[in-house]
Structure 1
Amino acid sequence: MTDAAISVRHLDHFFGEGEARKQALFDINLEIQRGSLTIFMGPSGSGKTTLLTIMGCLREVQAGGIRLLDEELSGSDEISRIDMRRRLGFIFQAHNLHDSLTARQNVMMGLQVHGRGDAAKQARAADHLLGLLGLGERMDYRPANLSGGQKQRVAIARALVSNPDIIFADEPTAALDKVSGLAAVQLFKELGRARGTTTVMVTHDSRILDLADRIVTLEEGRIVADRAAAGHAHVSAEHA
């Protein structure tokens, strides 16, 4: 086992076929350490979300290699990718909550899909996380009665409740006010310290950059900058 939760080697990615084929990622090389919080930044269309979804086993590796939690993704089949996804947590801008379920029940689903614990334990875990995210008085509310920011916090709790090894988050604070956004990212940081959880986040939210261990900037499918936050050793993408 290495200290790298994610190792990306000479990764290329394409969309389309034939004359419509377009390259989206170019020779991406990157290592992300266990327990760290890494932020991907860059303009729309720069490849941030594409890279995130390939690392998260939501897209197949086409060219190059990715080693995720000491397992090689290149050449893996769909069953292997599904097994790996059970070790991951996902937070997307579209919160994808079930409208017929309460906030508590939506979060409990993050445990039920893994068959972890009985209903009472699942409810306690859900209540704990919802409380940490400031939703202690909204646990029995359904999504229709929650604000956009509250729904996003429920989605964050659902992703975290199963204690994933890696959290992949695409604009998780976009719908949150400053206080709620900082609280959510600070929770990611605490999970990194306490459990070794690795977080990889796409964001345009400049309010949370100071909390990152590392900021990787993409433009037109290439890494153009890779800098560590103060107090962290710099890791160059070119030499990862």
Structure 2
Amino acid sequence: MVEDNPINVAGLNHFFGVGEARKQALGDIDLSIERGSLTILMGPSGSGKTTLLTLMGCLREVQDGSIKLLGQELHGAHEAQMVMLRRRLGFIFQAHNLHESLTAAQNVLMGLQVHGPGNAAKQLSATIHMLDILGLADRVDYLPGNLSGGQKQRVAVARALVSNPEVIFADEPTAALDREAGLNVVKMLKAMGRTRRTTTVMVTHDNRILELADRIISMEEGRIVGDTRSSPTGKPTP
């Protein structure tokens, strides 16, 4: 465990259900994730990767073991502490979760407004800039119902990134995107790691983006069974 790392997990176990229906979802997870890295969690359905992601992202309560996120212990943390931490994070999910009554720009603005009141002009400028980067400059005033599935997902990505979060948690962020759009999103996350030291943890089944990862964690039946890091050439190494 390295204290400077934004995420340190030690002896983590997690269960679903009670009594005879109780099932272990994660077992004995130890993991440290370096600042600025792009780490991918892979494994078959039911392997525990999304459960681990949501625990690290303050979206589930830690039952047993330790997770330190940005220096804060999550096991036993109060809801107010969790809320403050979530404001330092970005979330991208396969389901875009856009508000259907708000335009693309208004949906992205929500990613800034959760941090409290700010300079409205600067917030709008940052919003338009992020949508432009993602190829949506001509869709800022469109409602989600008038956007394609891939465009909706790019709006969701813009919403997650516009506040410059310290850590980004992404669950199948490229599933609704074509190859080029998916690669562009992941390249942006990779660039944020280099320039802003933003840390990204991503669950994916998308083999098209694996070569961009700094690290690939493989999971099966709630346990880590593989851990590979990219070499200077970008190729995975054990």
**Partner of 2:120 in structure 1?**
119
Task: Provide structure 2 residue ranges, at least 5 long, that are not aligned to the other structure.
Answer: none
Shift of 1:116: 5.0
Alignment partners' CA distance in 1, 2:19 and 2:84? 32
Cα separation, 2, equivalents of 1:116 and 1:188: 26
Once residues 135 and 163 of structure 2 are traced to their aligned partners in structure 1, the CA distance between those partners, rounded to angstroms, is 19
Q: Deviations over 1:98-150 (max 9, x none)?
A: 11111011001100111252221111101111111111111111100000000
1:51 aligns with 2:52: yes
1:156 is aligned to 2:168: no
Task: Give 1:224's aligned residue.
Answer: 225
Question: Aligned pairs, how many?
Answer: 236
Alignment of 1:204-215 (within 5 A): 204-215=205-216
> In the TM superposition, what is the alpha-carbon distance from 1:235 to its structure 2 partner?
10
> In the alignment, which residue of structure 2 is the partner of 1:192?
193
Structure 1 stretches of at least 4 aligned residues deviating more than 4 Å after TM superposition: none
Partner of 1:15: 16
Partners of 1:149 and 1:56 in 2: CA distance: 24
Deviations along 1:3-26, one digit per CA (max 9) or x if unpaired, are: 311000010000011111100000
Q: Tell me if 1:63 matches 2:98.
A: no
Contact 2:63 2:75 in 1 (8 A): yes
Computed over aligned residues only, the root mean square deviation of the Cα atoms, in angstroms, reads 1.7
1:196-227 Cα shifts (integer Å, max 9, x gaps): 10000000000000110000010010001000
Deviation at 1:70, TM superposition (A): 1.1
Tell me the SS of whatever aligns to 2:25. Answer: strand
CA distance in 2, matches of 1:187, 1:210: 14
Matches within 5 A, 1:38-187: 38-187=39-188
